[in-house]
Structure 1
Amino acid sequence: MEQFLIFTDRNLKLYFRDRATVFFSLLSMIITIALMVFFLGNMNIDVITDLLGQFPNRDYVEDEKNARLLIYSWTSAGIISMNAVTVTLAVYSTMIKDRMSGKLNSIYTAPVSRTIITVSYIATAWIAATIVCVFTLAVTEMYGIIQGLEVYSIAQHIHILGIICMNSFVYATFMYLLALIAKSEGAWSGIGTLVGTLVGFLGAIYIPIGSLSDSIQSLLKCTPIIYSTALFRKIMLESILKHTF
């Protein structure tokens, strides 16, 4: 147990102390926020406001406010799900570097079982992703409350935290298997670039999946992130949906 804790602590420190790695693991989230602030957010807000305006006796100002909060909650749920993907992927760059530099072979010669080493890598990715996602939840919720969103109930917080832990573990395990395939740091960097580029689209974070064609919807339904995003949205949008519609 002590060996597991030492190795996990070492991997966590390597990740969080590398500011460049942390930044690039959050780059997809930053790009998503920028897109929503400067382009897609207003477009989606206008669509919802126009839709609500088709019904009689609507308050345009109130509808616009609720639409803005709805899109904010929609995006917040998406980036929490997104961070679990990008952070776990970034954390495994440590394992790739250990393998390429020969450090991993040196570690294998130590009196530590390979199972402990494997589990510690997975635990590192799980813990790091969970920390980042919980921090993202705290920041987005506080800002949302300032803007007028209701505070999540204790039960909702428990559900969201449970989904964060589950989601982070799933991607920590999946990314470990993917890291076993990567033969070089360049290959892993390429995978990171591809995943970081597509994750917002695959998670239907930029635009609702219902506005896409049937063929693209079928494609997105084959990816796991669309389901984790849906789980977050089911809870995080519950209150604002009632106020909006």
Structure 2
Amino acid sequence: MRTVTALWLRNIRGFVRDRVKLITSLVIPFFFLYIFRSIFRTDQVEDPTAFLLAGIIVATVFQTSLSIATSTIDDTVSGYMKEILVSPTSRFQVALGQILSAATVATTQGILILLIGFFTGLSFNHWYTFIYVLLILMLVGLVFSGLGLFLASMVKSSSTFQVVQQAVVLPFTFLSGAYIPLAFLPDVLRVIAYFNPMTYTTAIFRTIMLEKGGLTQAEWVELGLAFELNGFIITPWMSGVIMLTFGALFLSLSTNAFVQADFNKISRNPLARK
């Protein structure tokens, strides 16, 4: 476990020292809050600011979790990762250290945005809601850190990853209901959104954060917290199970891909073979 701890501490220090990146990651979410807040202003949503802020927090945690790919590639190119991989430690422990550190950083950013959100009018009716929010943020960080590590293990250059990251982040985020309600999307995009793991992640997190767990199925559907598919209602709690299922899949794929990956082929050269 010393390898896991060492990788975790190294990535956490890198997060703390990069103050520009930290500040930017806290400012941009509130820019989105200002831009998209009016979209959620409907008769069904009592507090559009809190409703959108919940989506922004989970989207930020998702995007930060994927940053594990960048750190893994950079560590490989610099030679740091290769030195670790030739040591007696197992690749599984290295993968675990990368995943845990990315999940920790992502969860921390989500918590910081949440704390700042209290100054915008966000509030909880019950003290234990904050505990539930922390737990779900940790789960989201772990789920999508696995996806980030999987991407890092599959690409062959840092330039390739930049393209892959945008191809994953943009559709996953904007087709999840985090920034734009799914009801506003065309029918084709709404169908695609139902195959998006971030759709169910946003639904369960928003339900917990806004303390909407006691509503009826019709009220959940009206708020966009539940989804009706041919008469079948996917409740927020079912969304939680779906999120965990995707998480188990991502973690399994990522660890297997990392163990079998040939990091000697990873390059910064944009002309490198992909």
- TM-score, structure 2 length as denominator? 0.69
Alignment of 1:18 onto 2:18: yes
The aligned counterpart of 1:108 is 85
The aligned counterpart of 2:31 is 34
Contact in 1 for aligned 2:11/2:101 (Cα 8 Å): yes
TM-fit CA distance, 1:20: 5.4
TM-fit CA distance, 1:22: 4.3
Alignment of 1:156 onto 2:133: no
Q: For structure 1, which segment, 122-131 or 155-164, has the greater mean C-alpha deviation from structure 2 after superposition? A: 155-164
TM-fit CA distance, 1:230: 0.7
Q: 3-state SS of the aligned residue for 1:92?
A: helix
The aligned counterpart of 2:65 is 88
TM-fit CA distance, 1:161: 1.5
Q: Summarize the Cα distance change of 1:43–1:133 in structure 2 as closer, same or farther, 3 Å threshold.
A: closer
Contact in 2 for aligned 1:15/1:94 (Cα 8 Å): no
Runs of 4+ in structure 1 deviating by more than 6 angstroms, as ranges, are none
The aligned counterpart of 1:64 is none
Within a 5 Å distance, the mapping from 1:1-245 to structure 2 comes to 1-19=1-19, 21-22=21-22, 26=25, 30=28, 33-38=30-35, 40-45=36-41, 48=42, 51=43, 70-145=47-122, 150-238=123-211
Q: Summarize the Cα distance change of 1:6–1:43 in structure 2 as closer, same or farther, 3 Å threshold.
A: closer
1:208-229 superposed Cα distances (whole Å, 9 cap, x missing partner): 1123232211111111111111
TM-fit CA distance, 1:19: 4.1
Higher RCO structure (Cα 8 Å, ≥6 apart): 1
TM-fit CA distance, 1:23: 6.0
Specify every segment of 5 or more residues in structure 1 that has no aligned partner in the other structure, as ranges.
53-66
Give me the whole-angstrom Cα distance separating, in 1, the residues matched to 2:11 and 2:193.
33
1:141-182 superposed Cα distances (whole Å, 9 cap, x missing partner): 34324xxxx434123222212211111110111211111112
1:102-122 superposed Cα distances (whole Å, 9 cap, x missing partner): 322222222322222111111
Task: Give the root-mean-square deviation of aligned CA atoms.
Answer: 2.8
Q: For structure 1, which segment, 192-201 or 100-109, has the greater mean C-alpha deviation from structure 2 after superposition? A: 192-201
Contact in 1 for aligned 2:58/2:205 (Cα 8 Å): yes
TM-fit CA distance, 1:124: 0.7
Give me the whole-angstrom Cα distance separating, in 2, the residues matched to 1:172 and 1:86.
9
Give me the whole-angstrom Cα distance separating, in 2, the residues matched to 1:154 and 1:213.
39
Which has the larger Rg? 1
Q: Summarize the Cα distance change of 1:125–1:43 in structure 2 as closer, same or farther, 3 Å threshold.
A: closer
Give me the whole-angstrom Cα distance separating, in 2, the residues matched to 1:23 and 1:211.
32
Q: 3-state SS of the aligned residue for 2:121?
A: helix
TM-fit CA distance, 1:186: 1.0
Contact in 2 for aligned 1:74/1:237 (Cα 8 Å): yes
Specify every segment of 5 or more residues in structure 2 that has no aligned partner in the other structure, as ranges.
216-222, 224-274
What amino acid is aligned across from residue 37 of structure 1 in structure 2?
Y
Contact in 1 for aligned 2:68/2:99 (Cα 8 Å): no
* Matched residues, number: 215
Give me the whole-angstrom Cα distance separating, in 1, the residues matched to 2:54 and 2:165.
21
Contact in 1 for aligned 2:62/2:144 (Cα 8 Å): yes
What amino acid is aligned across from residue 84 of structure 2 in structure 1?
I
What amino acid is aligned across from residue 204 of structure 1 in structure 2?
G
Contact in 2 for aligned 1:160/1:235 (Cα 8 Å): yes
TM-fit CA distance, 1:80: 1.3
What amino acid is aligned across from residue 199 of structure 2 in structure 1?
I
Give me the whole-angstrom Cα distance separating, in 2, the residues matched to 1:44 and 1:119.
38
Give me the whole-angstrom Cα distance separating, in 2, the residues matched to 1:226 and 1:237.
16
